[in-house]
Structures are given as structure tokens and as C-alpha cells.
Amino acid sequence: MPTITTPDGVEIFYKDWGSGQPIVFSHGWPLSADDWDAQMIYFLHQGYRVIAHDRRGHGRSGQPGTGNDMEHWVADLAALTAHLDLRDAVHIGHSTGGAEVASYVARHQDRVAKAVLVASPTPNMLKSADNPAGQPREWFDAVQAGIVGNRSEFFRDVPTGPFYGFNRPGATPSEAVIANWWRQGMAGGIQAHYETVYTWLQDYTGDLEKITVPVLVMHGEDDQIVPFASAVPRAVEHLKNGTLKTYPGYPHGMLTTHADVLNPDLLAFIQS
């Protein structure tokens, strides 16, 4: 398996297929590069070079006892892009990966052409006086409690319920999609999954304000994980060159459930 070793000795697994302009994908919690299957194969067939990595503590990457935080994740991504000498790249991040992309681009814009934030917690998702539509602190505590209490069971409940909107009236749950989410999650480490929650409490406003390259913000209006009103309109307000595209009724995991819609939209933005 292709890997790089970070300066602090962690092996990071990655996929690197095709040629042409590079598109780099950053996955969400608690998943892996495999969550980008529908996008990787689509853009590969469109003539792009596609790259996705497993964040440290996730998937096939190492599971260190330290560094499960945004600072190290961005440094790991920077090490990967430097190793592959990626330039004029498009960075696409989903959920936690969206915060990773925002933080990376804010620091390494010389290598970046465009960025996309999909269902991203940026600028912040914690409920507060300034963000009344955010998730209450108790919600984050419940996620950590679920991880500690019975991670395997919790990792069935999340995709069965709010992640893909399968808990909505009239929804048709896909057992294959649920099982694939569980498979990816259980391949990672419980410590990294637990500590990831702390990154959801952070404020990424400063990163957004540093970004000058074009950024597309995509969000489902029925996102039960990162509520639409908690982050999306405010994210665009902090971007110098941001565009907002919303999807009525779409869930947090819309890249999987509605890849047939989102992939062409991503392509149109990249080619614009």
C-alpha cells in the first residue's frame, strides 16, 4: 500500500490514480478515503488525477496516541501534497474533512487552485449566542459517550439514522451503505474518533478569512449533523471568493446518497 511517513513517524495511507490536474479529497469522521469512491472513479474517468488519504487514526493509516487534532491533520496533508509535488490542485473536503481543507488551504494556497467544502462545520457548529442554530454542547458529549459506550453499535446507529437521513419519513435505508459506513469506521482507532469531536468545537473563521482562491460551499438543507443554518451562510460571508450551493432535503452524507447530482456540480465548478 502506498504510504508516507510524517515527521513525527506516523504512516499515512493514500490513493493516487490517473493524471492531469490533481483533485485531493479529505474524508469525514470516522471514515476513510474509501468514502470518496463515487467521486474518485467519476473524476478519474473525467481525466483528472485523484488523490485521497486516510487521516491519521483512521482507516489504513497509523493509530498514534498523539496528534489526533487539526494541526497535525493539516501538517499530514501538507506532507502528502509536498511528497507528491501537487500544484494547481483542487481540494475537496467533506464534514470534518471540510475543516481540514479550510485549514490547509489557508496555509498552503500557493499549491491550490480551488477548494470545495461539503457539509463542513466551518466556520463553527457549536451552539452559542452568536450561533443559535448550532449543535448544543450536550450533542457533542453524546457522540463521545456513544463512542466509549459501544462504538460498534453506535457506528451502526449513526448511518442508520441521521447521517444519511434514513430516519426521515419515507426514506429507504440502504443496508449496503450502512454496512460500508460501519466498515470504514471500525477500521479506525477509537482514540482518534473520540478526540476528533474536539475539532468540531473549534472556530475556523480565521482560516476562511485567509482564503483567496475560489471556494464552493455545498450543503444539504436537511443536514442533521451540521445543521444548515449553523454554518453554511456564515461560511460564505467569511470567504473572499465563495459561492454557495444548497440542496433541499439532502442529508449530511449526500455525496453518497446523491452522487449523481453532486458529481456533475463539482465538475462544473472545477471547470468554471
Tens digits of per-residue pLDDT, 200-228? 999 999 999 999 999 999 999 999 999 99
Look at residue 48 in the predicted model and tell me its pLDDT: 98
Respond yes or no: is residue 103 known to be catalytic. Answer: no
**Range 158-177 average pLDDT:** 98
Look at residue 1 in the predicted model and tell me its pLDDT: 80
Stretch among 39-53, 229-243, 250-264 having the lowest mean pLDDT: 229-243
Residue 232 has pLDDT above 80, yes or no: no
Domains of the chain in start order, with CATH, are 3-271 (3.40.50.1820)
The whole-angstrom separation of Cα 36 and Cα 52 is 8
Q: Where are the alpha helices (DSSP H) in 86-160?
A: 96-107, 137-160
Respond yes or no: is residue 272 known to be catalytic. Answer: no
Residue 160 has pLDDT above 80, yes or no: yes
Look at residue 45 in the predicted model and tell me its pLDDT: 98
Respond yes or no: is residue 37 known to be catalytic. Answer: no
Residue 52 has pLDDT above 90, yes or no: yes
Query: Of 27, 223, 230, 238, which is the active-site residue?
Result: 223
Query: Of 95, 103, 120, 230, which is the active-site residue?
Result: 95
pTM: 0.98
3-state helix, strand, coil in the chain (%, to 5): 45, 15, 40
Phi and psi torsions of 143, nearest 5°: -60, -45
pLDDT tens digits for 74-119?
A: 999 999 999 999 999 999 999 999 999 999 999 999 999 999 999 9
**Range 170-178 average pLDDT:** 97
Of 23, 76, 265, 7, give the one whose Cα is nearest residue 15.
23
Residue 233 has pLDDT above 90, yes or no: no
Look at residue 230 in the predicted model and tell me its pLDDT: 85
